[in-house]
Structure 1
Amino acid sequence: MKILTDFFQLFYPRLCANCDALLIKNEPILCTFCRHDLPLTNFDSYKENKVAKIFYGRIAIEKAYSLLFYRKDGISKKLIHALKYKGNENIGIFFGNWLGEMLKENKKFSDIDCIIPVPLHPKKKRLRGYNQVSKFGETIGKHLQIPFNEHLLKRISSSKTQTLKSRFERFTNNDTKFLLTDYTSLKNKHILVVDDVVTTGATLEACAKELQKTENIKISFLTIGYTELNL
């Protein structure tokens, strides 16, 4: 078996998703050097973090957390772009394992009942072939032994991608609409909504407003990246 693995590696080497260096056995997705270069937010050590503050006065949430700063031309942007547009869902699994292990250890999301990804519009999902945060959320769910459900929440409006919008448009965006297909199954539950990047929080806010049509529901947010806007 090792001979076959070595033979496969000869023609299809595993390369770092950032610097293209050859990965060694215990390096998934990133080489050790690039992993240490990731811009971690460390928001988990704050009593109040910047992600949660985005939603102050807008919508009631329990908790919010992002693993990385998402910066222009940075390593986190390159990774999420590859996850989102180049079909590299292993990046979602990589970050799902990272956050899943971290959250299992610190128990800060120990009361979550269900994980739901921010859904794509069906047309966009058909074009892309996948939802970039599905593997991410599913992997976290396996670590925390929490159900993952990507069918309860549907996106029913299609708007232009966030990358094509001006900063003001992203901040004021309220044209994204969602539909909860079952208003009873999440009653009295604490739901963790996962996404790739939070910028203004408009999309997550729209998801939460639809979910909050369920009686006595609690909502938290978790994303891979967080963008600091200079509006």
Structure 2
Amino acid sequence: MINARKWFNDFAHLFFPHHCAGCGSDLVEAHQHICHQCYTSLPETYFAPHHNNPIEKIFYGRVPVSEAMAAYYFSKQSVLQQLIHTLKYRNNQEVGLQLGRWMGGLLKSSGRFTNIDALIPLPLFPEKEKRRGYNQATVLCNGIAEVINIPVVNDFVLRKRYTDTQTKKGRIERWKNVDGSFVVNDSAIVKPEYVLLVDDVITTGATLEACGTAIVESGAKLSIAVLAWASDE
């Protein structure tokens, strides 16, 4: 039976090839969207198990964060950039789920990030999320949740105004652009006591700081996990 299933999969792959979202290779399992070579090429930071890592230092003196980590280093023209682009702009949510599962594995094995009771995706402005059809941070959260079995709560924090892209702004401009953009939803059914705020990429941390500040001011404890760190230095 197993051999018959393998034969069928190989036959189907011949006529309907399944390509890796990172490199385009068709040497990828039917149930996977990222090939083994691309997975092993991802530049892991190894931040998750360590206190005082560079992501935690970003928030020193800015917002109280219990634990923070980035799974991978981000660089332009890299496999990781291609995967993130595929997730955000090509509607490939399966890629995001897989990346989230890998994040979840790092969080689980770190020995930290314990007693969290909700995963909070960094909110998009509602009109932007409607245009895209989904929030990429929510997709990552869904993948993480499969591994660490913590619920995803989408309505605890709201993005109350539209903000321009942060990409070409300096550190101070980034903060001014997002200051006051987030508010905790008083009518949310679930009001977690300790949240893990999740996003795809961190540079200066201004957006996560603005959102995290609203969370902390509500009385909740805050930790942060991001897929990738794009150092601005």
Normalised by the length of structure 1, the TM-score is 0.88
Alignment equivalent of 2:128, drawn from 117, 124, 130? 124
Please report how far the alpha carbon of residue 10 of structure 1 lies from its aligned counterpart in structure 2 after TM superposition: 3.2
d(CA) in 1 for partners of 2:217 and 2:82?
A: 36
Match of 2:191? 186
d(CA) in 1 for partners of 2:223 and 2:130?
A: 28
d(CA) in 1 for partners of 2:37 and 2:201?
A: 23
Alignment equivalent of 1:174, drawn from 169, 174, 178? 178
Alignment equivalent of 1:222, drawn from 219, 222, 225? 225
Q: Does the CA contact (< 8 Å) of 1:92 and 1:132 recur in 2?
A: yes
Match of 1:95? 99
1:124-168: CA deviations, max 9, x gaps?
A: 0111111011121022123212111112211111112223x2334
d(CA) in 1 for partners of 2:109 and 2:51?
A: 18
Match of 1:196? 200
d(CA) in 1 for partners of 2:100 and 2:194?
A: 19
What amino acid is aligned across from residue 222 of structure 2 in structure 1?
I
d(CA) in 1 for partners of 2:179 and 2:35?
A: 40
Provide runs of 4+ in structure 1 moved above 6 Å. Answer: none
Identity of aligned residues (%): 36
Secondary structure of 2:217 counterpart: coil
Please report how far the alpha carbon of residue 190 of structure 1 lies from its aligned counterpart in structure 2 after TM superposition: 1.1
What amino acid is aligned across from residue 174 of structure 1 in structure 2?
V
Q: Does the CA contact (< 8 Å) of 1:174 and 1:206 recur in 2?
A: yes
What amino acid is aligned across from residue 113 of structure 2 in structure 1?
F
Report which stretch shifted further, 197-206 or 97-106: 97-106
Mind listing any 5+ residue stretches in structure 2 that lack a counterpart?
none
Match of 2:212? 208
Q: What CA RMSD, in Å, does the superposition of the two structures yield over aligned residues? A: 2.2
Normalised by the length of structure 2, the TM-score is 0.88
What amino acid is aligned across from residue 218 of structure 1 in structure 2?
K
Please report how far the alpha carbon of residue 102 of structure 1 lies from its aligned counterpart in structure 2 after TM superposition: 2.8
Q: Decide whether aligned partners of structure 1 residues 22 and 176 sit closer, same or farther in structure 2, where only a CA change above 3 A counts.
A: farther
Alignment equivalent of 2:69, drawn from 61, 65, 76? 65
Alignment of 1:109-188 (within 5 A): 109-163=113-167, 165-168=168-171, 169-170=173-174, 173-175=177-179, 177-182=181-186, 185-186=190-191
Number of aligned positions between the proteins: 227
Please report how far the alpha carbon of residue 47 of structure 1 lies from its aligned counterpart in structure 2 after TM superposition: 3.2
d(CA) in 1 for partners of 2:8 and 2:174?
A: 49
Verify: 1:44 aligned to 2:48, yes or no: yes
Q: Does the CA contact (< 8 Å) of 2:164 and 2:177 recur in 1?
A: no
Q: Does the CA contact (< 8 Å) of 2:156 and 2:191 recur in 1?
A: no
Secondary structure of 1:116 counterpart: strand
1:72-114: CA deviations, max 9, x gaps?
A: 2222111111111111111211111112223223331121111
Q: Does the CA contact (< 8 Å) of 1:157 and 1:175 recur in 2?
A: no
Please report how far the alpha carbon of residue 26 of structure 1 lies from its aligned counterpart in structure 2 after TM superposition: 7.7
